[in-house]
Amino acid sequence: MKKYILFLLVPFLFCPFFNLQAEVINDLSFMPENVWYSGGELKDGEVVNIHTAIWNGLDDKVLTKIDFYDSETLLGSRDLLIEQKSLSEASISWKVTAGEHYISAKIISPKSVIDGVEKDIKVSSNETKKDRQKISVVIKDEAGEEVKTKDAFNGILGQAEDKVKDILNEDTERKISVVFESIEKYRLDKAEQVKGFADGMKEKIDEIKSEDEEAEEGLAGYNVKFYFWKIVHFIFDNKIAFYVVSGLLLLSILRAIYRAFRHRT
């Protein structure tokens, strides 16, 4: 059986007609610069040209296609007929967008052209290095002029504030202001009241200690009350803490009401 297999392989080993592989060459390659840009600034919204150049070091013309990619996305293609021992350039236009880009070019289906007959060839490396470009977002105003990000956000906040003022008439705005002032007065009054409770507990603890320095068991209850009023005072005395705690309490109440109605239905 082995003899028959060897007999069948002999023609493939000695007859070039059965060599179906295309010739691998090293004389068709991209220039060291790989890819470069022209025609505008690499900025979000601008249109630029992406360039690459291929050197044909063969003694024959080469017909090939050049594909341009952004990562795995095809941006465009160009067909080239490159004369022997010469350099040829290919380019496409590209509208720049914000984000991270990896630009590259590939040699696709190269063929040598001899007396009008095309022959497939293979190159040792058919792709450029990926050129990484990180493009920032460009924000423009209504007139189309570029503005800085900070100014844009300030403008958006200003527009939102104007819209709120348009929705709320002067009477509603005055009522909200009155309610807020009432809440603030209540908060400050309660802070003073609770501070008085905490100070009272402290005085009571000091009084007991002055009468009996070893009366630790009797002080336990007073200490708990003292720290409790201190925490409550901190909440009422600190505006942020007061509104955060109030919001959480309100949210808990609304959730409890929602659950009660849901179970009824």
Tens digit of pLDDT for each residue in 64-111?
A: 999 999 999 999 999 999 999 999 999 999 999 999 999 999 999 999
* Domains: count for the chain: 3
* 45-49, 87-91, 153-157: the lowest-pLDDT one: 153-157
Q: Which of 122, 149, 167 is the endpoint of a domain? A: 167
Mean pLDDT to the nearest integer, 7-25: 43
6 within some domain? no
What are the tens digits of pLDDT across the range 187-204? Answer: 999 999 988 888 888 888
More confidently predicted of 12 and 129: 129
9 within some domain? no
Q: What is the three-class DSSP state of 26?
A: coil
> Sign of the CA dihedral 169, 172, 174, 180?
negative
201 within some domain? yes
In terms of domains, do 182 and 258 share one?
A: yes
In terms of domains, do 257 and 243 share one?
A: yes
Q: Which of 151, 167, 183 is the endpoint of a domain? A: 167
In terms of domains, do 75 and 161 share one?
A: no
In terms of domains, do 31 and 128 share one?
A: yes
* CA quadruple 140, 146, 147, 148: dihedral, nearest 10: 110
pLDDT confidence of residue 87: 92
212 within some domain? yes
In terms of domains, do 161 and 250 share one?
A: no
**CA–CA dist 65, 23 (Å, integer):** 18
Q: Phi/psi of residue 117, each to 5°?
A: -100, 130
For 232, the token pair is 């409550």
2 within some domain? no
In terms of domains, do 44 and 124 share one?
A: yes
Cα distances from 28 to residues 24, 70, 129, in angstroms, run: 10, 23, 16
For 9, the token pair is 């392989």
In terms of domains, do 132 and 36 share one?
A: yes
* Segment (H or E) for 5: helix 2-14
In terms of domains, do 76 and 182 share one?
A: no
What are the tens digits of pLDDT across the range 240-263? Answer: 888 899 899 999 999 888 888 777
For 33, the token pair is 């610069």
pLDDT confidence of residue 208: 77
In terms of domains, do 156 and 118 share one?
A: no
Amino acid found at 154: N
In terms of domains, do 153 and 194 share one?
A: no
* Contact (Cβ atoms closer than 8 angstroms) between residue 125 and residue 110: no
State if pTM tops 0.75. no
Which among 166, 228, 171, 168 has a CA at the least distance from the CA of 202? 228
- Domain at 125, CATH number: 2.60.40.10
In terms of domains, do 174 and 210 share one?
A: yes
Q: What is the three-class DSSP state of 117?
A: strand
In terms of domains, do 83 and 188 share one?
A: no
